[in-house]
Amino acid sequence: MKAMLATAALALVLGFAGSASAQAIKVGMAPEPYPPFAAPDASGKWTGWEMDMIDALCAEAKLQCEVTMTAWDGLIPALNAKKIDAIINSMSITEERKKSIDFSDKYYNTPTGIIGSKDAKFDATPEGLKGKIIGVQVSTVHEAYAKKHFADAAEIKIYQTQDEAQADLAAGRIDAVQADSLSLNTYLATDAGKACCDMKGDVAEDVEILGPGVGVGLRQGDTELKDKFNAAIKGIRDNGKYAEITKKYFDFDIYGK
């Protein structure tokens, strides 16, 4: 779901400061811009929909949350090594990931899209992408999806960050980028995005790969924390806090069906 900060040293205390009795946990996030969900502002403070959602969920669950920055492909190992206690970082719930970690209920679900150069006419299908180079971020559902659905038709190029893939697309070194459609649309609204690219469409649904939505990643067997996050997700949906946060960034409910 990203290129300027040292991953080992950065920890931001967000969310419910609470009383001394509040449970303290470490929430893992990758230090990679992923607007509109998370990105540093000019002062270096991380802001965005998901940052606000961490605040709201931790407050609702009466948790004292310390956001601990960890490289994206190190988040699950860090969780299982008990270096962090939860992952709130636009991580899709998939059967493959559930082999090693557990998830809360979903807290949002949006389509997966493909962008490409404005000058290129193709759609988000294997036929449309035949002979092209597609950029995806490592260890994401987009890497898995592209390898399953597009590898016979196109070359798949793997990047450490989505920013790097988008930079190569803008420079003409690749033909397309696959990612979450909301994040891609945010990029297309930037000066760089407007200059180079447009949306080619959403990919065909594949729940096995893309999952039913995004959830909080948790250690298997940590039922107490899972129950707290599930109750918090329902709580902020019911009390209007979820809608209040979402309206700051989107003109529709990104919770999905």
Catalogue all structural domains in the chain, each as residue range(s) with its CATH number.
Answer: 11-109+212-247 (3.40.190.10), 112-209 (3.40.190.10)
Tens-digit pLDDT profile for residues 232-249: 999 999 999 999 999 999
Query: What is the residue-averaged pLDDT of the chain?
Result: 92
Long-range contacts of 188-195 (CB under 8 A, 24+ apart): 188/115, 192/166, 193/115, 193/166, 195/170
Instruction: Report the length, in residues, of the chain.
Output: 257
Confidence of residue 257 (pLDDT cuts 50, 70, 90): confident
Confidence of residue 256 (pLDDT cuts 50, 70, 90): confident
5-37 as b/e: b if 16+ CB within 10 A:
beeeeeebebbbeeeeebbebbbbbbbbbbbbb
Tens-digit pLDDT profile for residues 167-219: 999 999 999 999 999 999 999 999 999 999 999 999 999 999 999 999 999 99
Tens-digit pLDDT profile for residues 33-49: 999 999 999 999 999 99
Model confidence at 78: pLDDT above 60: yes
Sheet containing strand 214-218, strands side by side: 11-13, 63-69, 23-29, 86-87, 214-218, 102-108
- Confidence at residue 21, expressed as pLDDT on a 0 to 100 scale: 64
- Confidence at residue 166, expressed as pLDDT on a 0 to 100 scale: 97
- Confidence at residue 37, expressed as pLDDT on a 0 to 100 scale: 95
How far apart are the C-alpha atoms of 127 and 107, rounded to whole Å? 33
Model confidence at 80: pLDDT above 70: yes
DSSP H/E element including 53 = helix 49-60
Q: Residue 69 region, left (φ>0) first, then alpha (ψ -120 to 50), else beta?
A: beta
Confidence of residue 7 (pLDDT cuts 50, 70, 90): very low
| AA identity, residue 190 | T
- Confidence at residue 12, expressed as pLDDT on a 0 to 100 scale: 44
How far apart are the C-alpha atoms of 111 and 118, rounded to whole Å? 21
Averaged pLDDT for residues 61-68: 97
pTM exceeds 0.85:
no
- Confidence at residue 127, expressed as pLDDT on a 0 to 100 scale: 98
Model confidence at 220: pLDDT above 70: yes
Tens-digit pLDDT profile for residues 88-135: 999 999 999 999 999 999 999 989 999 999 999 999 999 999 999 999
Confidence of residue 252 (pLDDT cuts 50, 70, 90): confident
SS3 162: helix
